[in-house]
Homo-oligomer: A and B are copies of this chain.
Amino acid sequence: MNAWIIAVGSELLTPFRVDTNSLLITDRLNAIGFKVSQKSVVGDDADSLATLLTRALASVDLVVCTGGLGPTADDVTRDAVSRALGVPLDLDAEILAGIEARFVRRGMVMSAINRRQALVPYGAVVLENVNGTAPGLWLEPTLSVQGRLVLLPGPPREMTPMLEALVRERLAPLTGGGGLFRRVLKITGRSESDVDAVAQPIYGPWRARPVPIETTILAVFGQVELHLTAAAGSRADAHEALDAAVGELVAGLGPSVYSVDGRTLEAVVGDLLRASGATVAAAESCTGGLVMSRLTDVPGSSDYVEGGVVCYSNRSKTEWVGVPDALIAEHGAVSEPVARAMAEGVRHRAGSTIGIGVTGIAGPGGGTPDKPVGTVCIAVLMHDDVRVRTVRLIGNREQVKYQSAQAALNLLRLMLLKCL
């Protein structure tokens, strides 16, 4: 079954606020088998909302509308519903009494404008609001309106318990327990088009399987994500299908898949470090401490992070991790020999089992024809094994920093996995 979520409120059309209610609503609807096919945001304007409601109700099974149920003239949802459905608004004496009682309990007198909140479109079922004055409203399909419509207040504290009750009591019985179940694969070290060239032939046929799986590919800086969504009649069927699907993708994409369970790259590396009993130290130039900062974002990272050095200047490379002046003079600060010397020096000084060295040009200045902005040399030293890589990254300064840290953590991961 399909759903359309509408958020009402002019403040949601400014540069300052996004509609986040729809994320929770999507989660709850997906879990019982509704797919969200569209989301809309409209201002406090009854005409636009009425037009939108009419269209949405004609095209999906369920419309969830949040906001615009307050007492002020800005709150137009009730009026818009009345117009869209062609039904009158009636004053509900019970709601009115409830709102008045709520004011009395708080030692206040109800304003006349609060009477608006007791207006109910003809045929609507009232949903109790335990945390506020605006009741929710539920409208079943009619001869002329195909979709179900639910109206919820905008404040999350009021909306959430009403949504939970609605899902449990009215929506779950419509779908019979099946739903959408998800997995996310995170991949690094490959481009989006490269990942898709491998993955598409694998996931392409999944839509036609008994438990159909939809796949979305998403590129963000330094990584690619594959989002798998299975539509199944039961949780067990979904998990079986998803386990098989994840297995096929991992077999195809190999160790470039670093996470199938939501973990970040730094958490994956942390778990590998802990499992191997290793400790790590990093000497960072262009990443400016980001490798260490990401490693230490993980709770418990003090078990395997020894420390590190940000050696931004040549002096600090020499002073803290003993990179010879002559090496810098001969090869330049951004070079594989210097990255390697940084990894060796920091491991020695920190007394760790693993050393990382990162040196590069984050930009926007500092590039040369030989070594343009985005040139980054990475060395990882583990036991007797040392791997050195030079990567060419694109993006602004922060993006080059992030991708450099990603490449360094990934090189460490592949070495810990003995995949290099």
Contact = CB atoms under 8 A, between A and B. Distances in A.
Interface of A: 9-16, 18-20, 22-24, 26-27, 30, 36-45, 48, 52, 55, 70-74, 106-108, 111, 113-114, 131, 155, 157, 182, 191-194, 196-197, 200, 214, 216-221, 227, 229, 281-282, 284, 286-293, 295-297, 299-302, 305-313, 315-316, 319-320, 349-351, 362-366, 392, 394-399, 401
A271 B301 CA distance: 34
A302 B306 contact: no
A118 to B, nearest CB: 14
Given A113-B197, A193-B113, A290-B293, A299 B397 contact: yes
A279 to B, nearest CB: 9
A394 B114 CA distance: 19
Given A288-B293, A289-B292, A157 B14 contact: no
Contact of A16 (B10, B191, B218, B297): B218
A72 B310 contact: no
- Copies of this chain in the oligomer: 2
Given A310-B307, A320-B309, A350-B319, A227 B14 contact: yes
A316 B350 contact: yes
Contact of A182 (B14, B40, B45, B362): B14
B113 A227 contact: no
- With most chain B CB atoms within 10 A of its CB, the pick from A216, A229, A286, A349 is A216
Which secondary structure dominates chain A's binding surface?
mixed
Nearest to A308: B310
Contacts of A108: 191
A229 to B, nearest CB: 8
Contacts of A397: 297, 299
A16 B38 CA distance: 15
Nearest to A309: B309
Contact of A111 (B71, B197, B319, B396): B197
9 contacts: A38-B43, A38-B48, A40-B40, A111-B197, A155-B220, A289-B310, A299-B363, A307-B312, A308-B309
Contacts of A401: 293, 296-297
Nearest to A399: B157
Contacts of A27: 15
A210 to B, nearest CB: 22
